[in-house]
Structure 1
Amino acid sequence: MEEATKVLETAYEKVKENPFDPNTLDEKRREWISAIAETCESQKAVTTALITCFIKKMTDQGQDIRLHRKEFVGGYSARVFDTKYITPFLKKRFPRIAMKESGWLSRSIEQPHPFTLDFPGKVRDERVKYCFLHILNDIEENNADAEKYLQALFTLLLQKFTEIRTILEGVTFPKEIPIDPIIECLKSHFFHKYSSAGASKLPVIAMYSLYQLMMEGSTRYQNKTLKRLRSYGSPDIHAKAIGDIEVVDEAGEYFEVVEIKHDIPISEGIMQDSYNKFRKTSIRRYYLLTTAEPYIREGEEIQVENLKQKIKNEHGCEVIINGIIPSTKYYLRLVKTPSQFMETYTNNLKEDKEVKGEHLKVWLDVIEAIRNPP
């Protein structure tokens, strides 16, 4: 194990066993690191960059960690260091805040300017930018301990990601829940104005949860297999997928697939893109669902219908276009007990690594009326 990885793992295991007390930091330092932890899901690049700087300092005391590019006099390649050590660690230990490759792929971080207090990078949250730069300034100008900062951050991150999951593990629902209140909960969850990215995954998880239940009791899906949800970090072309939710037959051939768009009406172009994905398969049914209303782009209704018929005649696949809400309402009538769906969806939200803490907290809020009716 290389030194940087060892330092990361050691720090993680240490605070997991004995959490660092952020109160041992003075008030300003505590406020700075708390601001980073609180916004880590919406400011992943900044969080990644900060951890990169901590580890670089801990493994190379003589390096000025503000000089994050090799072309700077006395600088180093923070992007290479991050790509090799930090992001792989985050994918393993804190997947909800891990970048695809590196925090330095973000324009807010990659600026050709040292991380000094006058750094011009446009971080969306000015408070986070302020805290990030002042932490690095504190380490370099005041000899503040990078290890203590790291332990405080890891402690706060662990608390953040375990607290909400623990609450969700104890969630129970009444045995009988009408369908309409469930639909209202889903609408509130899908269409909430989130500060974190990733809300487009929520309707996918909801529909996947319904398929999990339908696979158990429907003759249509007898001897069929529901494939695991793929990560949004894996593009279709690389994952060899043709949709978000995929059901295959005994031979592993596509049987039924669902592609879900969030806030985007289905257009002729979207249909054609989907057809290009599945035209070489023997799939029988392909759903194109969206959270947008109307669910077909205005002015393209005729073109969409014509393309549906062309695909049916040319390929044999039935393409079904609908809104996610009416489709969900229909499928809820097919499951044995709608309350089962609520339990399954809640569990899938908790387990999915791309669902953010903010999404989980909002879900807890919107289901309160169902769980504890007046």
Structure 2
Amino acid sequence: MLYNGNISPKSLKTAFINIIDFVQTHPEQSENVLRLLLKFIQSAKDANLVEVIKLTNPEKLDIKSLVNALEEHFNYNYKTKGGSKLPVIAFYAIYQILVREISRYQSCTLGELGSHTASDRTSKTAGDIDIFDENNHLVEAVEIKHGQEITLQILYRAKEKILKYNPRRYYILSHSS
């Protein structure tokens, strides 16, 4: 069976094709296959739970300690894909607070946090974080480039997005060692 979809790694693509083939040749088993897949998803979710420990004394947390903790978190090698998503999630959490607390964002909402795996050309968003006004017009876009210097290519892509989506403000945040 041929499938041109871009699924990686190859073993995942093979498993996907085999499941589709099995369901097509044994349609009476499709409900059982679905139940089994949902059980595997639940097991994977349960295995990846992270306990969040509440700070015992949050008043002693200063900005420098927070920045150091975030930097260590962003730069840690978790030996898995998705590390570039960590700064986006952190800034998204910050923007969730800013949108509630800062008058400049009054009546604004955050766009949904994207998958961060789609290319800039197909994501249909101006940045990693988009903020919209009450009329759903783009107010602000934030592009986060972890571990990358801001290059001319990044600036060209930013210019294309600014012209296409017309935000009032567009930020590119980068940290590169």
**TM-score (ref. length: structure 2):** 0.74
Number of the residue aligned with 1:207: 91
The structure whose Rg is larger is 1
* 2:170 equivalent to 1:289: no
Distance 1:58 1:230, change over 3 A: closer
| 1:171 maps to 2:53 | yes
Q: Give the alignment of 1:344-359 within 5 angstroms.
A: none
- C-alpha displacement of 1:54: 6.6
Structure holding more helix per residue: 1
Q: Which runs of 5+ in 2 are unaligned?
A: 1-7
SS at structure 2 position matched to 1:290: strand
How much does 1:250 deviate?
2.0
What residue in structure 1 maps to residue 14 of structure 2?
49
Aligned AA (2:171): Y
1-structure distance, mates of 2:123, 2:24: 36
Matches within 5 A, 1:6-155: 44-50=9-15, 52-53=17-18, 56=21, 93=38, 154=40
1:242 corresponds in structure 2 to 126
Q: Is the 8 A contact 2:116 2:128 kept in 1?
A: no
Identical residues among aligned pairs (%) = 30
Cα RMSD of the aligned pairs, angstroms, is 3.0
Alpha-carbon distance between aligned partners in 1 of 2:19 and 2:165, rounded to the nearest angstrom = 49
Higher relative contact order (CA 8 A, sep 6+): 1
**Residues 255-300 of structure 1: CA distance to partner in whole angstroms, max 9, x if unpaired?**
111001121100222112111111244422111011313xxxxxxx
Output the CA distance in 1 between the equivalents of 2:86 and 2:66: 14
1:264 maps onto 2:148 in alignment: yes
CA offsets 1:276-335 (integer angstroms, 9 cap, x no match): 111244422111011313xxxxxxxxxxxxxxxxxxxxxxxxxxxxxxxxxxxxxxxxxx
Q: What is the count of residue pairs matched by the alignment? A: 160
Find the aligned partners of 1:272 and 1:264 in 2 and give their Cα distance: 15
What does the per-residue CA deviation read over 1:220-255, in whole Å, with 9 as the maximum and x for residues that have no partner?
111111111112243333332111101112222111
- CA distance in structure 1 between the partners assigned to 2:145 and 2:159 by the alignment: 15
Matches of 1:277 and 1:183, distance apart in 2: 29
Higher fraction of strand: 2
Asked if the contact 2:126/2:165 (under 8 Å) is kept, the reply is no
